Amino acid sequence: MNTKTPNIETDIPRLLAKHGIRPTKIRRAIAGLLFDGVDKHVSVDDVIDLARDQNIKTSVASVYNTLNQFASAGLLHRVMVEQGRAFFDTNLSEHHHFYLEDEERLEDIPADNINITGLPELPKGRRIKSVNVTIRLKDN
Ligand SMILES: [Zn+2]
């Protein structure tokens, strides 16, 4: 997506349709919260809070399903920080993350700020799809 703010009436339904997602009212509303031209990392709880702020009626199950559909369709990247704790990232370019444990927040690290060397020999017939580094940080 480019950096220009998308038009929720036209760009959002087009974006969803392009990724094979039927643009229902709730999906359009959630996409409007996420794809506003500013990259963000959100949890299910964050999206519920954002929706509530905009008076969008939804449920935990509906947000959870929608975010996972968007991720499966390639509109979001899923970032697992620990068992049962996932974030959804609107920045689809190759990059890494700091995870600030005390704030439960991700920050981007540009891909070229980390040099990855010494990877093991790959199993036969496999290639690397991506290497994602998450550096976990604690407050001092
Ligand atoms: Zn990110």
Q: How far apart are CA 20 and CA 64, in angstroms?
A: 18
Q: What is the pLDDT of residue 11?
A: 87
Report CA(124)–ligand 1 centroid distance (Å). 30
Residue 2 pLDDT greater than 70, yes or no:
no
Task: Tell how far the Cα of 77 is from the centroid of ligand 1, in angstroms.
Answer: 8
Q: What is the pLDDT of residue 3?
A: 53
Rounded Cα distance between 75 and 39, Å, is 12
Q: How far apart are CA 39 and CA 131, in angstroms?
A: 20
Ligand 1 center from residue 137 Cα (angstroms): 15
The answer, yes or no, to whether residue 67 has pLDDT greater than 90, is yes
Distance 88 CA to ligand 1 centre (A): 8
Sign of CA dihedral 40, 43, 49, 54: positive
- Summarize pLDDT for 102-129 with one digit per residue, the tens: 999 999 999 999 999 999 999 999 999 8
Report CA(99)–ligand 1 centroid distance (Å). Answer: 10
Domains of the chain: 11-88 (1.10.10.10), 93-137 (no CATH)
Cβ atoms of residues 29 and 36 within 8 Å: no
pLDDT higher than 50, residue 1: no
Q: What is the pLDDT of residues 78-107, one digit of tens each?
A: 999 988 889 999 999 999 999 999 999 999
Residue 84 DSSP one-character state: T
Dig out the tokens for 36 from the structure.
């506003």
pLDDT tops 80 at residue 7: no
